[in-house]
Amino acid sequence: SDKSWGECLSVAVEVARRAGKVVQEAVKHEKSVSSKSTPTDLVTETDQQVEELIISTLRERFPSHRYIGEESSAAGEKCILTDNPTWIIDPIDGTCNFVHSFPMVAVSIGFAVKKELEFGVIYHCFDGTLYTARKGHGAFCNGARIQVSKEKDVSKALILTEIGAKRDPATLNIFSGNIMKLLSAPAHGVRIIGSSTLALCLIATGAAEAYYQFGLHCWDIAAAAVIIREAGGVVIDTSGGPLDLMSRRVVAAGTLEMANYIVQNLESISYERDDSD
């Protein structure tokens, strides 16, 4: 029932704070780093420990729910969204930042039922900022209502993106071509902060006008999509169609006009879907 998702949200907030504090403490110590899909797709022991902490805590409370986690997926678990209540978890978003102690690192917990996103919680591990939203109930930063920017004109926009793990010359050409096109629009600026979820939270608070990325994962967008939508923004596919959580691509913006401008000016980079086998 609607009531029980509210209870799930409270538990999510509690767990995100606890996990975030573990990450904050771990930043001070030496990290054991390895790579996953590519040499720049990083993982540390802390990613795995924190995911285990989050999932075991939630599973104890909600044993019948399903769990999709970044590190469980890396370990071979299938990443498939069913109609069952499903938690979608990134224990450390911004692992590369974490490794360098660059202060943009977050815990992200999203929750979907019948393939619809119901709520999202994102905890900024360095400054303790908490972003939350529940479908139909608004979006909040540390408990205060947040709102997207209403700007429609790209020449007044600050645009955020992320690089993604593929670094072959063809991919990098498209990547920089997309940035050059937006810079010559001319957008006010383009920023890359190293955490998809925190970049998306900055769209939700109106600190930037648009975000796009190829190569992110469902756990990078699940929680943030609810937060942006509840802050009045749009989250769509880079084709202009509805968001597909598993498609590894997204455009988010404060207004549909801004989102459509980005859509029309992007060249695609293809990544294997999260739910492919």
Sheet holding 130-134, edge to edge: 66-69, 86-93, 106-113, 116-124, 130-134, 139-141, 144-145
Least distance CB 64 / ligand IPD (angstroms)? 27
Residues engaged in binding ligand IPD (CB under 6 A): 70, 90, 92-95, 162-164, 194-196, 215-217, 220
Known active-site residue 70 = yes
Quote the least distance from Cβ 164 to ligand IPD, whole Å.
Answer: 5
Is 162 one of the catalytic residues? no
Q: Which is nearer to ligand IPD, 158 or 163 (CB)?
A: 163
Residue 277 annotated as catalytic: no
Question: For residues 134 and 235, which CB has a smaller minimum distance to ligand IPD in the complex?
Answer: 235
| Annotated active-site residue in 47, 51, 71, 93 | 93
Cβ contact 107:91 at 8 Å:
yes
244 is catalytic: no
Active-site hit among 92, 122, 227, 228: 92
93 as an active site residue: the answer is yes
Helix or strand (DSSP H, E) at 221: helix 218-230
In Å, how far are 10, 188, 213 from 150, measured between CA atoms?
30, 15, 21
d(Cα 23, Cα 50) in Å, to the nearest integer? 8
Q: Is 90 among the residues known to form the active site?
A: yes
Q: 47, 71, 118, 220: which is the annotated catalytic residue?
A: 220
**Tokens representing residue 8 in the block:** 């799930």
Residue 174 CB, nearest distance to ligand IPD (Å)? 15
Which is nearer to ligand IPD, 201 or 234 (by Cβ)? 201
Cβ–Cβ < 8 Å for 221, 245:
yes
